[in-house]
Amino acid sequence: MRLSTRIAACLLVVFHLALVSAGVCADALDEAVARNREVGVLFSSGDIQGARIRGESVVAENQIALGANHPELARSLYQLAVINMQLGRYDEAGRLHLEALAIREAALSPGDLAIADSVMALGGMYRNRGWYAEAEPYLTRGLALREASLGADSPAVAHSLMELARLYRTQDRFDEAEAAARRALVILEGIHGPEDVRVAEVLNELALNYHNQHRYDDALPYYTRALDIRRQSLPGNHILIARSLGNLAALHHNAGDYAKAEAYYLEALDAKRIVLGDRHPDVAVTLRNLGMMYAEQGRQEDAERRLNEAVAMLEATTGTNTAAVAGTLANLAELYMQQGRLEEAEALLTRAIRIWEEELDARHPAVARALSQLALIQLEQGHLEEAEALQRRSIAILEHAMGAQHPDVATAQGNLALIHEAQRKGADANPL
């Protein structure tokens, strides 16, 4: 037997012994890996519910085959957490992510990148729930782990920076968001060149950062360059191209250029229908945005039709009690408030709040904004005590999530002052 062959044989024996010492045979591990891969294929194909159902059974099967503390079981839990996140099942996703992280921290070396993946995923989940204070330590820890293992200029570090940029933008910490995104841009341009689709993602994030600050002229070239890169690099009907068109539509919409906005919205709608079919959550998002723009233009019938289409499509494709449905119900409620249909608006907002509280959290900023709308309805109906209670709850949520100096807090305090004025308690009104 040649030396290299003997070495290979010894390594196989050592590997087998390691598996046996851990209570796992090689065949069992191979089968567990194959089961995890099967779930990943279902998820990648777009069969999210199928992936969830199979993922739950794979967790049970792999726990029996591998034991409760094996890294491959952690992978099963991590996958299932990602799937639940996609479905908006945040409580379940959080439980699974924490379980996966605990296994990885116990079984792997401290610098293992799987630990960083779990930490980043938890940070992203907390951000999506509106738990910004909880999200930041996880995201910064994930960034530090990746920097320590991979160096400061790796694609994974750029990904961590982008996750932080999104968190900071959501909190209106725009300077920090821009700094993180620009560092990610330097990394990715250095690795992939300036015309890569991964660079386009960072350009899009920078555009969103300017867009959220109402710096529309600054946002436009970044959105445009991102679209150009995607058109050059991707097939003509790719979903990322459609999303870039939707971003440009939203920019012109917010800037008040309704003609350009409608043209981009309709182009994005056609592109999404080609790629995704006529009934898909992304299609519903564009219908919702069109409806909101029509409402601003006073095109009440068009607005109501598009918003109802969006609600029905989201209910059919994501379920009747998802965060996406709640957001569109709140948009429809706003239209009804403009029309003086207060009872219908109240019913929609009440349903939206219940969904958000169940699917996100009772402290999410979306809940606070809906409570403010409900307070205004109660004010209009003369129910002043109910209005004040709702508005105070809204302010408490916003202060916790966004900080006392956030503009949304000032708006909510302004609403409270209106309520106090109606109660003839002007002396108690908060300063605007």
pLDDT digits (tens, 9 = 90+) for 392-409: 999 999 998 888 888 889
In the structure, what pLDDT confidence band is assigned to residue 410 with cuts at 50, 70 and 90? very high
Q: What mean pLDDT comes out for the span 103-117?
A: 95
Domains of the chain: 234-323 (1.25.40.10)
Residues 45-87: tens digit of each pLDDT: 778 888 999 999 999 999 999 999 999 999 999 999 999 888 7
pLDDT at 24 over 70: no
What letter does residue 431 receive in the DSSP assignment?
P
How much is the pTM? 0.81
For residue 425, the model assigns a pLDDT of 60
For residue 428, the model assigns a pLDDT of 52
Sequence-separated (6 or more) residues with CB below 8 Å from residue 65: 24, 28, 31, 32
For residue 21, the model assigns a pLDDT of 36
In the structure, what pLDDT confidence band is assigned to residue 269 with cuts at 50, 70 and 90? very high
In the structure, what pLDDT confidence band is assigned to residue 247 with cuts at 50, 70 and 90? very high
How buried is residue 418: exposed, middle or buried, by Cβ count under 10 Å (0-12/13-18/19+)?
Answer: middle
Least confident span in 128-137, 158-167, 206-215, 421-430? 421-430
pLDDT at 250 over 60: yes
- Of residues 20 and 304, the one with the higher pLDDT is 304
Distance CA(29)–CA(23), nearest Å, equals 11
If residue 95 lies in a helix (H) or strand (E), which one and from where to where?
helix 90-107
Q: What mean pLDDT comes out for the span 185-199?
A: 97
Residue with tokens 């205004």: 376
pLDDT at 10 over 80: no
For residue 5, the model assigns a pLDDT of 38
For residue 7, the model assigns a pLDDT of 33
For residue 164, the model assigns a pLDDT of 98
pLDDT at 191 over 60: yes
- Of residues 429 and 363, the one with the higher pLDDT is 363
Q: What mean pLDDT comes out for the span 238-256?
A: 96
Distance CA(243)–CA(223), nearest Å, equals 10
For residue 57, the model assigns a pLDDT of 95
Distance CA(221)–CA(204), nearest Å, equals 10
Q: Across the chain, what does the average pLDDT equal?
A: 90
Taking a C-beta distance cutoff of 8 angstroms, is the pair 281, 317 a contact? yes
Contacts 24+ apart (CB under 8 A), 408-415: 408/365, 408/368, 408/369, 411/372, 412/368, 412/372, 415/372, 415/375, 415/376, 415/379, 415/391
